[in-house]
């Protein structure tokens, strides 16, 4: 069983034979299928798996893992392919396990405000399913990602400032381990002090420690009242300072989103919306009618101090939808701004006291570059994104994007921040973990080696062993 040889473009026929015998039509080695599974929504280069298994149950996953484990063949879990740091790339070949057919909502408890889903359920599908229960799942990373993928990358997004990230909202997981054993990492009690927190260990591990096959999530009652607001500012510092003071005042804002002037220009061009080309905040408040009015008034007063213009808030669903459309269009709008370019989305997160400084320095950096790079962010958490617009075939573009990205990460780390607030590591940010974690990275490596001694689970992501 010569392991390295198997990690090439073609698997040993014995592996394919074994998978074929077990999975039949649910195994594919077609080029188009492999290509689709080796690439996510990031700029990072695709790496094709040798085969794709379409799993329909935990047993399917366990069997696929056991076969691969026997031959020490890499396994890469695949949800919707919407990751942003190359998490699904089959760097050393191997077998992609596609989980999108595992898309059943297994159980909803309105009494306990929780739900158990298969990993292929997407967040929109889940909220659609919940529609008549009065409950919702708040985590919204933008893409209609799968819940399994969101757990794997510790996703967060616009509502995290109020509801937390996947770290806070996963109650328990079912996981297939690298040797095919199946474990449950927790129970449905809201809290437990009964041993090591395996749930949190697997959340954010990007498929490098096992394959998630069930996710139990917290749910929330749909707020009695929701109000949204939008407000533009003369400078980005004014916008950011409005955010900082809002957070420091303890106002339980549900969303507080920033876009810079460049991003607003892109949105204006793309969506044909009458929005100003100026730094803009979107806000959302959840609560009772009285409390959302109180929150909106408090933030309006803060925004006014920083010269915020036309602070308008609305509670009507139709108006809210229109208002948020602009924010949701941000990513795709960038293609209008820079036709023919591709997007390299990167994100960092810093303590909120350093957010204004971090954003200002980043804007200066971009101003001194030839590269277009709209800035947008979940600023209530100190988290923001740059979208570097580049031609991947132009070495000058690539070098400049790399330079800006490295400087952004170094800046965030120097401010006691992190190299990624929500996109994760994949292989796109793996080189920054040493600088971020120091000796703690060796502990991550120890954990990886202990749980996956043959390094078959999504090798080359998070930690190299």
Give the footprint of its own copies on residues 35-64 (CB under 8 A).
none
4's enclosing H/E stretch is helix 3-6
CA 139, CA 327: separation in Å to the nearest integer?
16
Q: What angle do CA 74, 80, 85 make, to 5 degrees?
A: 65
Does residue 203 interact with its own copies by CB under 8 A?
yes
Does 431 help bind its own copies (rule: CB under 8 A)?
no
Q: Does 111 bind its own copies (CB under 8 A)?
A: yes
Q: Cα separation of 315 and 414, whole Å? A: 41
Phi and psi angles of residue 12, each rounded to the nearest 5 degrees, phi first: -60, 135
Give whichever of 77 and 417 is closer to its own copies, judged by the CB atom.
Answer: 417
Q: Which is nearer to its own copies, 49 or 178 (CB)?
A: 178
| CB 325, CB 284: distance < 8 Å | no
Cα–chain-centroid distance for residue 373?
Answer: 20
Q: Is 305 an interacting residue with respect to its own copies (CB under 8 A)?
A: no
Instruction: Determine whether 444 is exposed, middle or buried from the number of CB atoms within 10 Å of its CB (0-12, 13-18, 19+).
Output: middle
CB of 315 to its own copies, least distance (A): 17
Q: Name the residue nearer to its own copies (CB basis): 400 or 436.
A: 436
Q: For its own copies, how many residues bind (rule: CB under 8 A)?
A: 92
Residue 198 or 273: the one with the smaller Cβ distance to its own copies is 198
Nearest to 332 by CA among 389, 277, 274: 389
Q: Can residue 325 be called a binding residue for its own copies (CB under 8 A)?
A: no
Shortest Cβ 201–its own copies spacing (Å): 6
Give whichever of 243 and 264 is closer to its own copies, judged by the CB atom. Answer: 243
131 touching its own copies, by CB under 8 A: no
Question: Which of 114/397 has CB closer to its own copies?
Answer: 114
Told to check if 300 binds its own copies by CB under 8 A, we report no
Residue 33 or residue 359: which is nearer to its own copies going by CB? 359
Contact mark string toward its own copies, 375..414, x via CB under 8 A: ------xxx----------------------------xx-
b/e per residue 257-274 (b: at least 16 CB within 10 A): bbbbbbbbbbbbebbeee
The closest of 223, 225, 302 to 256, measured between CA atoms, is 302
Among 10, 57, 325, 353, binds its own copies (CB under 8 A): 353
For residue 248, state whether it binds its own copies (rule: CB under 8 A). yes
Q: In the bound complex, what is the minimum distance in angstroms from residue 368's beta carbon to its own copies?
A: 26
Q: Are 96 and 80 in contact (CB under 8 A)?
A: no
Structure tokens that stand for 214 in this block: 């069930």
If the CB atoms of residues 294 and 319 are measured against its own copies, the closer one turns out to be: 294
Tell how far CA 465 is from the center of its chain.
24
205 lines the binding site for its own copies (CB under 8 A):
yes
Q: What is the token pair recorded at 76?
A: 């890469």
One of 31, 196, 370, 395 touching its own copies (CB under 8 A): 196
């Amino acid at each position: 069983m010569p392991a390295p040889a198997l990690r090439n473009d073609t698997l040993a026929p014995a592996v394919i034979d074994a998978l074929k015998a077990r999975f039949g039509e649910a195994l594919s080695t077609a080029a188009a299928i492999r290509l689709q599974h080796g690439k996510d929504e990031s700029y990072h280069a695709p790496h094709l798996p040798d085969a794709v298994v379409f799993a329909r149950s935990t047993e399917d996953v366990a069997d696929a893992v056991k076969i691969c484990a026997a031959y020490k063949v890499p396994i890469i879990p695949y949800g919707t392919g919407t990751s942003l740091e190359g998490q699904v790339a089959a760097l050393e070949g191997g077998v992609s396990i596609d989980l999108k057919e595992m898309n059943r909502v297994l159980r909803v408890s309105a009494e306990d405000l929780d739900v158990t889903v298969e990993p292929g359920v997407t967040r929109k599908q889940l909220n659609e399913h919940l529609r008549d229960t009065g409950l919702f799942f708040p985590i919204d990373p933008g893409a209609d990602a799968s819940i399994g993928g969101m757990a794997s990358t510790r996703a967060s997004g616009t509502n995290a400032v109020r509801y937390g990230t996947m770290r806070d909202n996963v109650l328990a997981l079912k996981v297939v381990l690298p040797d095919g054993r199946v474990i449950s990492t927790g129970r449905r009690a809201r809290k437990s002090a009964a041993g090591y927190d395996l749930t949190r260990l697997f959340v954010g591990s990007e498929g490098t420690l096992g394959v998630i096959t069930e996710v139990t999530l917290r749910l929330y009652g749909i707020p009695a009242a929701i109000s949204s607001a939008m407000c533009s500012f003369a400078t980005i510092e004014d916008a950011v300072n409005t955010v900082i003071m809002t957070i420091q005042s303890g106002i339980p804002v549900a969303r507080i989103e920033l876009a810079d002037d460049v991003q607003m220009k892109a949105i204006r061009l793309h969506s044909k919306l009458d929005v100003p080309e100026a730094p803009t905040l979107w806000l959302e408040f959840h609560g009772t009618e009285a409390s959302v009015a109180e929150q909106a008034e408090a933030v309006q007063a803060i925004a006014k101090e920083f010269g915020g213009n036309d602070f308008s808030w609305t509670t009507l669903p139709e108006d809210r939808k229109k208002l948020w459309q602009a924010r949701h269009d941000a990513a795709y709008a960038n293609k209008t701004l820079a036709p023919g370019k591709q997007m390299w989305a990167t994100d960092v997160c810093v303590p909120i006291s350093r957010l204004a400084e971090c954003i200002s320095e980043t804007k200066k950096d971009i101003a001194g570059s030839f590269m277009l790079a709209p800035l947008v962010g979940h600023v209530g958490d100190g988290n923001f994104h740059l979208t570097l617009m580049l031609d991947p075939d132009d070495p000058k573009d690539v070098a400049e994007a790399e330079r800006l990205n490295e400087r952004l990460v170094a800046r965030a780390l120097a401010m006691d921040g992190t190299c990624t607030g929500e996109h994760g590591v994949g292989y796109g940010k793996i080189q920054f973990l040493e600088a971020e974690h120091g000796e703690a990275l060796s502990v991550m490596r120890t954990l990886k080696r202990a749980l996956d001694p043959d390094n078959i689970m999504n090798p080359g992501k998070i930690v190299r062993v």
